Chain A
Amino acid sequence: MKNTALFIILRRMRVPLLALIASYAVSMLGLVLIPGIEVDGRPQYLSFFHAFYIMTYTATTTGFGELPVPFSDAQRLWVTISLYISVVAWLYAIGALIMMLRDQALRQLIDLNRFAAQVKRLNEPFYIVCGYGDTGSVVGRSMIDCNMGAVAIDKNQDRLNELMLENLPVHVPHLCGDASLPSNLISAGLNHPQCRGVLALCEDDLVNLRIAITCRLLSPGLSVICRAQSHDTEANMHSFGTDAVINPFDTFADRLALALHSPDMHLIYEWLTGIPDAPLPERLHPPHGTWVVCGYGRFGKAVQRYLEFEGVPMVIVESDPEKTEAPKNVIIGRGTEAVTLRAANIEKAVGIVAGTDDDANNLSIIVTARELNSKLFLVARQNDNENDAVFQAARLDLVMQRARAISRRILAIITAPLLTDFLRLMRHQKTEWAQGLIEYMRPLLGGVTPVLWTVAITEEETPAVEKSLQTGVNLSMSLLLLDPHDRDQRLQAMALMMKRGKEEHLLPEDDMELKPGDKILFCGCKGMAALQHRTLFSPNVVHYLVSGETIPDGTIWRWFAHRGG
């Protein structure tokens, strides 16, 4: 953003300017109210214009004598006070401008203190996001959409400036500093009672590892979700009980393999883990046959491992086979030239994965490959978010974008813990099951990705339902899916899974009975959770949905109903 510097200067000049306005306002008001020397037995008052005039020459210490008429002593006293106030305000305003441009160390200290104070005041559950880059910002924004707080730490002030100017509906405290320093993590609320966990999303694996260790040792109860790019770090993180380690390359390769194995499952996966309220993704039709994988780095290796597991034959193209420890039969070359691709038998292949760590090369591979074989299924890795437009223009079938791949998984873990279980169970189902689910869901969702939420039948979360259950009424799952305004209508939502103790029920039936302690994962259109909320909290609504009778709300209406009946 070009204007960022200007915006920051304007923003930081707010307080000095407000101080100036306030000092002028107070001084002028005092001058207008204080009586002057009496003429003809009546005290003379200054007008606002004269007060402003006097303040103008007083505050700038020009000194112009007592105008328009000599002052009374009360006025002199007030002018003396005003002089000091306004000179201080001016000095502050100018000083602030200079300090802002020069002093960094002091600002950092002030920022740290303010940050710690802001974190201390948080009274809603929040997560600490370490590394507010591409991934961090997507996760942070979505978390706030899901009514969850966030605290951000990043080494790079520019990213935090972007965050500050983003104008999120809630304030996100942020700190510029090294997230792996324990003192910074503690200021970010590691020991705060509302802190739910830490997301280590820094670029550097080592930093993430250090964050994970620090959290484990200082606050063992917190959940820690890490991003790792190498298998070494991943194993290391797992070794001391990190709750989830997310490797973007594996995540994506797994998705690709799932798409090949069962496009329907992949579609459900995409729907449920998409950013809510986005257009519903379409089904992919990856062809079966030989694939060409260009680049045998971390991404290429992950793709190879998962595709091999699916039994997909493949040809690997790599320019530096020794450094990447590529297998013997690899084709040497970058894949950007037609020669190399022909050597890899591109004419006979059905799909290509451009997986090098250079976006320009990846695009070049795709373009060259498409010229040689127009029917290819095109998959490319996008390393830099800035290249979004080019990758979109290339009309690829699938784009691997690190930030997006990680942020979706993290969101699923944080906002809908049951979703991970659902997706795990889903994988054991048959293709027909997935097709049936898609047929059922498509009209329900109305073309946008669903919102997911979890309901636990407990005293605090669902008082009305809990109360009915305690009085011995049998309630079924369908109750939670009826429109609280009209019980003949169903909500545009469905139950995906119910967890009762250790039992897990996929797609619970409508007539399934509810029991205290049940946890249910729902998905549905935006706004449906709020409607369902009414059922969960209002005993009257529950009564209406069960019996069809409306109980009048409030004493007066009840009295009327009583008289009428």
Chain B
Amino acid sequence: MNIEKVIFSFFIVLALTLNFGFFLGEFDNPEHHNVYELFAVVIVNLIATVLKFGERTQMGAVLLATSLVASLQLIAAVLVWTFVVHVDNSGLTPTAIGTIVSLSGGALVANIISVVLLVIDISVQRR
């Protein structure tokens, strides 16, 4: 057992589950999308990204890339949230929350790819 891989797998799967949790719900209903969950997703995604720093293998590089994509999408979602609430003062309108959720949906796809790659990587190695 490689402890490094256990920790990474934990964070990448946690990123996916939290991401899914935030994404779940009525698309343009702010009530269904919790700000704390978004915060947790961003943090866990950043950790998963940093954990892949300095990996030289092909699989490691691709996993780093997918994590980076997810992090960027989520940071974009956070920026939109911050903008509408604090700068624009228009509040979480259905349009705004729609944008945020669709950005997090993009991150969700990237996270799903990460987990699929992880599963492939595990099944290719013999133990």
A3 contact set on B, CB distance < 8 A:
56
Q: Tell whether A28 pairs with B39 under 8 Å between CB atoms, given A49-B86, A170-B2.
A: yes
For B, the interface residue count at a CB cutoff of 8 angstroms equals 27
Chain B 1-24 against A: per-residue CB contact (8 Å), 1 yes, 0 no?
A: 111100000000000000000000
B107 lies within 8 A of chain A by Cβ = no
A residues in contact with B57, CB < 8 Å: 165, 167
Complex CA gap A443/B3 in Å reads 42
**A8 and B2 contacting across the interface, CB-CB below 8 Å:** no
Q: Mark A3-14, 1 if CB is under 8 A from B, else 0.
A: 110111111111
Which of B46, B47, B54, B59 is in CB contact (< 8 Å) with A9?
A: B54
Q: Which of B74-106 contact A (CB under 8 A)?
A: 78, 81-82, 85-86
Indicate with 1 or 0, residue by residue over B58-83, a CB within 8 angstroms of chain A CB atoms.
01100000000000000000100110
* A29 proximity list for chain B (CB < 8 A): 39
Tell yes or no: A171 within 8 A of B by CB: yes
| Contact in complex: B86, A47 (CB < 8 Å) | yes
In the complex, what residues of A have CB within 8 A of residue B126's CB?
Answer: 145, 147, 169
With both chains docked as a complex, state the minimum distance between the C-beta of B101 and any C-beta of chain A, in angstroms.
17
**Is A218 in the interface zone, CB < 8 Å from B?**
no
Rounded to whole Å, the gap between the CB of A298 and the closest CB of chain B is 37
For the complex, give the distance between the alpha carbons of A171 and B5 in Å: 10
Contacts of A145 in B (CB 8 A): 126
Instruction: Establish whether residues B54 and A18, one from each chain, have CB atoms under 8 Å apart when the complex forms.
Output: no
Distance A72 CA – B87 CA, assembled complex (angstroms) = 24
Whether, in the assembled complex, B116 has its beta carbon less than 8 Å from a beta carbon of chain A, the answer is: no
> Could you tell me how many residues of chain A have their Cβ less than 8 Å away from some Cβ of chain B?
31
Q: Which of B51, B53, B78, B81 has the largest count of A CB atoms less than 10 A from its CB?
A: B53
Specify which chain B residues have a CB less than 8 angstroms from the CB of A50 in the assembled complex: 86
Cβ-based interface call for B43 (8 A): yes
Q: Which B20-56 residues sit within 8 Å CB-CB of chain A?
A: 35-36, 39, 43, 46-47, 50-51, 53-56
Provide the bound-state CA to CA distance between A14 and B35, in Å.
27
Taking the nearest CB of chain B, how far is it from the CB of A36, in angstroms? 16
Contacts of A8 in B (CB 8 A): 54
- A21 proximal to B (CB < 8 A): yes
Q: With A1-B56, A3-B56 in contact, do A170 and B127 touch (Cβ < 8 Å)?
A: yes
Decide yes or no whether A25 CB sits under 8 A from chain B: yes
**Is A171 touching B56 in the complex (CB atoms < 8 A)?**
no
Flag if B56 contacts A49 (CB, 8 Å): no
CA of A414 to CA of B54, assembled, Å = 33
Closest to A146 in B: B126
Contacts of B1 in A (CB 8 A): 170
Minimum CB–CB distance for B92 against chain A, Å: 12
Given A49-B86, A167-B60, A169-B125, A11–B54 Cβ distance below 8 Å?
Answer: yes
- Asked whether A18 and B85 contact (CB < 8 A) given A7-B56, A25-B43, A171-B4, the answer is no
- A17 near B: Cβ within 8 Å? yes
Contact A17 B56 (CB under 8 A): no
**B85 and A14 form a contact (CB under 8 A):** no
Give the CA-CA distance A518 to B3 in the complex, in Å.
38
Evaluate contact between B53 and A10: CB separation under 8 angstroms. Answer: yes
Give chain A nearest CB distance to B109 CB in angstroms.
Answer: 23
Q: How far is the CA of A536 from the CA of B39 in the complex (A)?
A: 53
**Using Cβ atoms and an 8 Å threshold, which residues of chain A touch B85?**
47, 49
Residue contact B43 to A167, C-beta cutoff 8 Å: no
Q: Which of A21, A47, A170, A171 is in CB contact (< 8 Å) with B47?
A: A21
In the complex, which residues of chain B have a beta carbon less than 8 angstroms from the beta carbon of A440? none
Is A18 within 8 A of B4, CB to CB? no
A9 to B4, CA, bound (A): 17
Shortest B14–chain A CB gap in Å is 13
CB contacts (< 8 Å) of B125 on chain A: these are 169
A10, B35: Cα distance in complex, Å: 31
How many angstroms from the CA of A326 to the CA of B10 in the assembled complex? Answer: 65
In the assembled complex, the Cα of A8 lies from the Cα of B53 at a distance in Å of 9
Interface string of A112-152 (1 = CB under 8 A from B): 00000000000000000000000000000000010100000
Tell me whether A169 and B50 are in contact (CB under 8 A): no
Complexed CA–CA distance, A12 and B56 (Å):
14
Does A78 lie at the interface of the complex (its beta carbon under 8 Å from any beta carbon of B)? no
Q: How far is the CA of A32 from the CA of B78 in the complex (A)?
A: 15
Complex CA–CA separation, A145 to B59 (angstroms) = 19
Task: List residues 1-57 of chain A with CB under 8 A from any CB of chain B.
Answer: 1, 3-4, 6-14, 17-18, 21-22, 25, 28-29, 32, 47-50
Which residue of the partner chain, among A21, A25, A47, A170, contacts B50 with CB atoms under 8 Å? A21
Instruction: Give the shortest distance, in Å, between B70 (CB) and chain A (any CB).
Output: 15
Candidates B36, B39, B47, B53; contact of A11 at CB < 8 Å: B53
A11, B60: Cα distance in complex, Å: 12
A165 touches B39 (CB 8 A): no
Contacting pair A7 B39 (CB below 8 A): no
* Shortest Cβ distance from residue A22 to the other chain B in the assembled complex, whole angstroms: 8
**A179 to chain B: closest CB distance in Å?**
24
- Distance in angstroms from B118 CB to nearest chain A CB is 13
For B86, list chain A residues within 8 Å (CB): 47, 49-50
- Extra A-B contacts (5), CB below 8 Å, given A21-B47, A165-B55, A165-B57: A8-B54, A11-B55, A17-B50, A167-B59, A170-B2
Chain B interfacial positions (CB closer than 8 Å to A): 1-4, 35-36, 39, 43, 46-47, 50-51, 53-57, 59-60, 78, 81-82, 85-86, 125-127
Selected A-B contacts with CB under 8 Å, 19 pairs: A6-B54, A13-B53, A14-B50, A14-B51, A14-B53, A17-B50, A17-B53, A21-B47, A22-B47, A28-B39, A32-B36, A48-B35, A48-B39, A48-B82, A49-B82, A165-B55, A167-B57, A167-B59, A170-B1
